Amino acid sequence: MITSFDTNFVYFAEGLKHFKYAEIVLRMIEPLHGDKRVACGFLPKSSSPLHIWARDYMPVQVSKDKFVLFLYAPDYLKDYPEYKPDITAILSDLGIRVMSSDIILDGGNFISCGEKVIMTDKIFRENQHYDHNVLIDTLSQLLEAEIVLIPEDYYDEYGHADGMVRYIGKGRVLLNNYCDFDKALRKRLLAALSPHFDITELHYGAYTNSSWAFLNFLHVGQHIFIPMVEDTVMDDMLGKKALKQIGDAFPLCKCHPVYHCENIVREGGALNCSSWNILTDLPEEDNNHKLPKTV
């Protein structure tokens, strides 16, 4: 499986160009300037102000030339079809061919760890037309990886894994600070993850409603962009601790704080949600950060 460490191109939805979020994108683009190993651009056909997300509906990259497109039919958008862009048109403009699956799975509920993939057990609720064992076997075949299931955080209406755990590399994962506020869920997560990974836990000594957002960072190549939330003094304090601890967990990566992410976090996502990064052939010339309308 392609992991975030392998990726070298990051896409953002064009909806992020709108005034409330544009500064966030600029703060991510600027540190990449001059790095010929990473380039970026906007997804076509995603210019609506409602289309600020990218991860959930875009395909999963299994290998350099294999993309699997899962069915984007989340329960939380059942009554809000206007939030769904034309995925077929986006992929056509990008020239990306995919293998399509009828399995309902959001990109935010997918953590690639090389030979293993972490996702929450919400997939069983979303795919009741599948026998549980058949579902896991089918996912494993499509993704060419072992599926590691973790319990869903029922306080998260989206049921995604990308605010719960992230891949550090070499069989290690980084767990959110459940030790500070939900010891029962922490125990279940450790039981699910420890047979497969070495676990490092975030620990802030406190909790805010935005604690999950710090772990919802964008990781592309050797760059990590950590959303900073400054709604309260407590958010600011926890953000500083998150920046230090995530940096310690990724010593070979450059960690960039991205300030003033309050608006996008209030919409229910953060920087991993609003991006889609892949491994691709970069052009010989340095065309980073020209941000064409289509790439």
Residue 250 lies in a domain: yes
For residues 203 and 215, the answer to whether their CB atoms sit within 8 Å is: no
Query: Can you give the pLDDT at residue 285?
Result: 44
Sheet architecture: strand order including 9-13: 39-43, 9-13, 275-278
Q: Where are the beta strands (DSSP E) in the chain?
A: 9-13, 39-43, 60-63, 66-71, 99-104, 111-112, 116-120, 146-150, 165-169, 172-175, 198-201, 218-220, 223-227, 254-258, 275-278
Residue 289 lies in a domain: no
Residue 183 lies in a domain: yes
- CATH number of the CATH domain containing 36: 3.75.10.10
Query: Can you give the pLDDT at residue 17?
Result: 87
Query: Can you give the pLDDT at residue 19?
Result: 66
**How many domains in the chain?**
1
What dihedral do alpha carbons 268, 107, 200, 157 form, nearest 10°? 40
Residue 295 lies in a domain: no
Residue 251 lies in a domain: yes
Q: Which tokens is 141 given?
A: 């075949």
CA–CA separation, 53 and 136 (whole Å):
27
Query: Can you give the pLDDT at residue 230?
Result: 84
Residue 158 lies in a domain: yes
Residue 293 lies in a domain: no
Query: Can you give the pLDDT at residue 283?
Result: 61
pLDDT tens-digit profile, the chain (295 residues): 999 999 999 999 999 888 677 888 888 888 887 788 899 999 999 999 999 999 999 999 999 999 999 999 999 999 999 999 999 999 999 999 999 999 999 999 999 999 999 999 999 999 999 999 999 999 999 999 999 999 999 889 999 999 999 999 999 999 999 999 999 999 999 999 999 999 999 999 998 888 999 999 999 999 999 999 988 888 899 999 999 999 999 999 999 999 989 989 999 999 999 999 999 997 644 434 343 332 2
CA–CA separation, 56 and 194 (whole Å):
27
113 C-beta neighbours (distance < 10 Å), count: 24
Give the structural domain span for 203: 4-278
Residue 294 lies in a domain: no
